Amino acid sequence: MTRVILVLLASFGFVLIGAVLMMVMHRRHLRQWRRQNRMVDPLSQATSARRRLIPFPLPQRWLAIRSSNTAHLRGALALRGSGPTWSEAMARAQERSLFLSAPVDGWTLVIGGALPDPEVDVDQLYRFLVDLSRETGEVQFFTSDRVLGFHGWARLRDGRVLRGYVWAGETQWNEGRMTLDERLLGLRCRDYGAEVEPLAYGELAAEHTNAERVPLLARQWGIDLATATEELLQQESVRSDDQGLL
């Protein structure tokens, strides 16, 4: 009788261990699937293709200012000198500086580690954008961390916030009505204090989808960083070739 009980207990133990191992393997497989697929987004394939053509990693934060007046913008940003080429600026984008692009289709881009990081201090970002917009007119800010899923965008005109949204683990800024472009792109914005619901099997987090589609929103609002960078690098290449012929 004792032997029978021991055999039953052992059988039950094996079954239990097998179930635990299957659960662990299932969770591991799910995590791997999410890591491999969380960046896959059919709407953003065009910008992803452009990113692959650019020989620099694109910065996570940038500004787009609706102005071609480089001298005025350099003064508003307290920048001295003429500044580096855009290829050099892209290579130095992590430095604690600000770099201004040449105008592209009526827009000027700003990159650099000195741009306020909303993950660190969203209030500093707000003040920076409001002050700059008062000086320059329309200013747009974008941030996208495709690994963590942190993201944000803002659009200001003459010192007034038309739209602002930042998510970095939680909603840090949500001001103004959600724009039609955001809705058409399927972006999801959470209210302050909203909890992130658990994901179903195979479901992509809305935050990662948002982060992936930030360049598409930038394009709808004016110009996206990848497109502008591609054009700026082409202009540099043409100038370099022309100088080589002289």
Q: State the Cα–Cα distance between residues 139 and 129, nearest whole angstrom.
A: 7
Structure tokens at 186: 């399927």
The model's pLDDT over 152-161, given as tens digits with 9 standing for 90+, comes to 999 999 999 9
In a domain, 149, yes or no: yes
In a domain, 5, yes or no: no
In a domain, 16, yes or no: no
In a domain, 10, yes or no: no
Query: Residue written as tokens 């799910």?
Result: 30
pLDDT attached to residue 83 = 86
Whole-prediction pTM: 0.77
pLDDT band at 39 (very low <50, low <70, confident <90, very high): very low
Greater confidence (201 vs 107) lies with: 107
- Which DSSP state fits 201? T
Closest by CA to 85, choosing from 61, 105, 113, 56, is: 56
Q: State the Cα–Cα distance between residues 96 and 115, nearest whole angstrom.
A: 8
What's the chain's average pLDDT?
84
pLDDT attached to residue 200 = 64
For residues 191 and 171, the answer to whether their CB atoms sit within 8 Å is: yes
The model's pLDDT over 161-211, given as tens digits with 9 standing for 90+, comes to 999 999 999 999 999 999 999 999 999 999 999 887 776 665 668 898 999
Q: Is the pLDDT of residue 26 over 60?
A: no
pLDDT attached to residue 4 = 59
In a domain, 232, yes or no: yes
Cα-Cα end-to-end distance for the chain: 101
Q: Is 161 helix (H, G, I), strand (E, B) or coil?
A: strand
244: exposed, middle or buried (C-beta count within 10 Å: 0-12, 13-18, 19+)?
Answer: exposed
Q: State the Cα–Cα distance between residues 109 and 102, nearest whole angstrom.
A: 8
* CA angle (125, 126, 130) in 5-degree steps: 115
Query: Which structural domain, as residue segments, surrounds residue 168?
Result: 38-245
9: Cβ–Cβ under 8 A, 6 or more apart, which residues?
Answer: none
pLDDT band at 8 (very low <50, low <70, confident <90, very high): low
Structure tokens at 10: 């052992």
pLDDT band at 38 (very low <50, low <70, confident <90, very high): very low
In a domain, 28, yes or no: no
Half-sphere exposure of 156 (CA within 13 A, CB side): 26
Q: State mean pLDDT over 93-119.
A: 95
Query: Residue written as tokens 């009505």?
Result: 177
Closest by CA to 177, choosing from 166, 193, 161, is: 161
* CA angle (195, 196, 202) in 5-degree steps: 160
Number of domains in the chain: 1
In a domain, 27, yes or no: no
pLDDT band at 243 (very low <50, low <70, confident <90, very high): low
Q: Is 151 helix (H, G, I), strand (E, B) or coil?
A: strand
Q: State the Cα–Cα distance between residues 205 and 203, nearest whole angstrom.
A: 6
In a domain, 175, yes or no: yes
